[in-house]
Amino acid sequence: MDTLSEEEVKQYQEDGYLTLEGFLDPEECDKLRERMSEIVDEMDVPGYCRIQFTTQHDEQLKSQGSADYFITSGDKIRFFFEKGVFDEKGEFIVPRERSLNKIGHALHAHEPLYKNVTHSQKMQNVAKKLGLRCPVILQSMYIFKQPGIGGEVTPHQDATFLYTEPLGRVMGVWIALEDATQENGCLWFIPGSHKNGITRRMVRTPKGTFPLTDFVGRERDYDDKLFIPAPVKKGGVVLIHGEVVHRSAQNTSDHSRHVYTFHIMDSQDTQWSHENWLQPTQELPFPPLYT
């Protein structure tokens, strides 16, 4: 695929998400995975930062050190782990490549292979077709969804964590580096739910207080029957409106579900909330998508 058809644009606007096969070639997926294996082999994580990523999309930030590690990760490459992968001394009890939930949040800035995918002409063409005038990259993540232990991600909206005024200016780009199936934890969506606004926000707490983030409001209760699965083959992409409700189940299979994902904001006439956990820095302002 080189861009979107008019029918695909309309489907994205109506449903709040769009699945497209063949965004990357299998060889491109393999190179991204190979580079990630090298990053994992080389990772050095302080003991106090060996924190877990929970099913509520919040870090278990039980110390000032681990809280700082998360909230200052927007311009860095940092490591977040699954439950039960460390002993009481913080040592790995599983192979380190099987320990990770995700790596974030600035692969797009520091890793050339990931930067090239993020700023590819294909991605620029998609954004232009969707009418994004001045898109910038907010963050990027590599998500592992480990076999057998890859945690559930409960129903949520990305705008809860990446809030803008007006709403509707953020889009997630979710690239499957392996087949994403119902068995290994593909995404599920409530079509059209991006039209109902949000009821919960993750915000920074006042300076000098702990914990460093908190939630305002609460998530709606969702009828499980409304969710539709969105399986996608290796190399496919899912475009995710910032307000569409989505989730993924625990991976109980013996196959991983590796994904490279990043978020884009159309910055023209948009205000990025100073209360968001993620903030641009002097070292890494949000880089423009179009080159």
Asked whether the beta carbons of 52 and 261 are under 8 A apart, the reply is: no
pLDDT, residue 59, reads 44
Entry field: residues in the chain: 291
C-alpha span between 176 and 47 (Å, rounded): 31
Cis amide bond preceding 211, omega within 30 = yes
CB atoms inside a 10 Å sphere around CB 55: 12
Q: For domain 6-272, which architecture applies? A: Sandwich (2.60)
User: Which pLDDT does position 176 carry in this prediction?
Assistant: 98
pLDDT, tens digit (0-9, with 9 covering 90-100), for 133-153: 999 999 999 999 999 888 899
**pLDDT for residue 50:** 63
Report pLDDT for 149: 84
Burial class, 165, CB count within 10 angstroms (exposed 0-12 / middle 13-18 / buried 19+): exposed
pLDDT higher than threshold 60 for residue 60: no
Cα 245 to Cα 189: distance, rounded to the nearest angstrom: 6
48: exposed, middle or buried (Cβ count in 10 Å: 0-12, 13-18, 19+): middle
pLDDT for 107 equals 98
Give the pLDDT of residue 6. Answer: 97
Question: pLDDT: is 81 or 7 the higher one?
Answer: 7
Using the structure block, give the residue that is written with the tokens 């096969």.
Answer: 21
The pLDDT assigned to 82 comes to: 84
Average pLDDT over residues 272-291: 96
pLDDT of residue 86: 84
CA angle (273, 276, 279) in 5-degree steps: 90
Hey, which residues does 19 pair with through a beta bridge? 238
DSSP string, the chain: --S--HHHHHHHHHHSEEEES-SS-HHHHHHHHHHHHHHHHH----GGG--BB-TTS-B---SHHHHHHHHT-TTSEEEEE-TT-B-TTS-BSS-GGGTEEEEEE-HHHH-HHHHHHHT-HHHHHHHHHTT-SSEEEEEEEEE---TTTBPPEEEE-GGGTS-EESSS-EEEEEEESS-B-TTTT-EEE-TTGGGS--SEEEEEPPTT-SSSEEEEE-PPP--GGG-EEE-B-TT-EEEEETT--EEE--B-SSS---EEEEEEEE-TT-EE-TTSS----SS----BS--
pLDDT digits (tens, 9 = 90+) for 88-138: 877 888 888 898 999 999 999 999 999 999 999 999 999 999 999 999 999
Q: What are the tens digits of pLDDT across the range 42-56?
A: 998 776 666 555 544
Each residue's pLDDT tens digit, 215-249 = 999 999 999 999 999 999 999 999 999 999 999 99
Residue 61 has pLDDT above 60, yes or no: no
Say yes or no to pLDDT of 23 above 90: yes
Residue 90 confidence (pLDDT): 79
Report the mean per-residue pLDDT for the chain: 92
